Amino acid sequence: MADRLSDAEIDDHLPDNWEQDDDEIVRMYEFDDYLRGVNFAQMVGEIAEAQFHHPEIIIRYSGVEIRLTSHEDGGITDKDIEMAELIESERNA
Ligand SMILES: C[C@H](O)[C@H](O)[C@H]1CNC2=NC(N)=NC(=O)C2=N1
């Protein structure tokens, strides 16, 4: 079990371009090519499997939305922040 973060802690630790939406953290990654978005979703899935912490991945024509929460802990934890940071690192690699 991980401790849920306070709104202030979340705000302090959210990577740029990520937002809090109730008990999730959310980021939309825009792509001008649908299959680049699909490939990005695959990469996110591989990170999720490695971390054993799984986001909701919504693939749209305009881009890919990533939504993270810690289901077992009932809210946002360090695991979600770490996943967001890992996804950002891969996206910017
Ligand atoms: C049994 C439980 O599903 C697993 O421990 C993992 C799998 N991936 C998970 N992913 C997320 N986002 N939250 C979880 O609580 C979680 N739990």
Domain CATH for 60:
3.30.1360.20
Its domain, for residue 75, covers 7-92
Residue 2 lies in a domain: no
Q: Which of 54, 73, 78, 88 is catalytic?
A: 54
Q: Is the CB of 4 under 6 A from ligand 1?
A: no
Please tell me the distance from the alpha carbon of residue 1 to that of residue 3, in angstroms, as a whole number.
7
Residue 1 is assigned to a structural domain of this protein: no
Q: Is residue 66 part of a domain?
A: yes
CA of 49 to the centre of ligand 1 (A): 10
Q: Residue 72: which pLDDT band, with cuts at 50, 70 and 90?
A: very high
**DSSP run (H or E) holding 76:** none
Question: For ligand 1, is residue 54 a contact (CB within 6 Å)?
Answer: yes
Sequential DSSP letters for 34-69: HHHHHHHHHHHHHHHHHHT---EEEE-SSEEEEEE-
Region of residue 23 (phi > 0: left; psi between -120 and 50: alpha; otherwise: beta): alpha
pLDDT for res 93 = 86
Let me know if residue 50 belongs to a domain: yes
Cβ–ligand 1 distance for 50 under 6 Å, the answer: no
ipTM for this prediction? 0.92
pTM equals 0.95
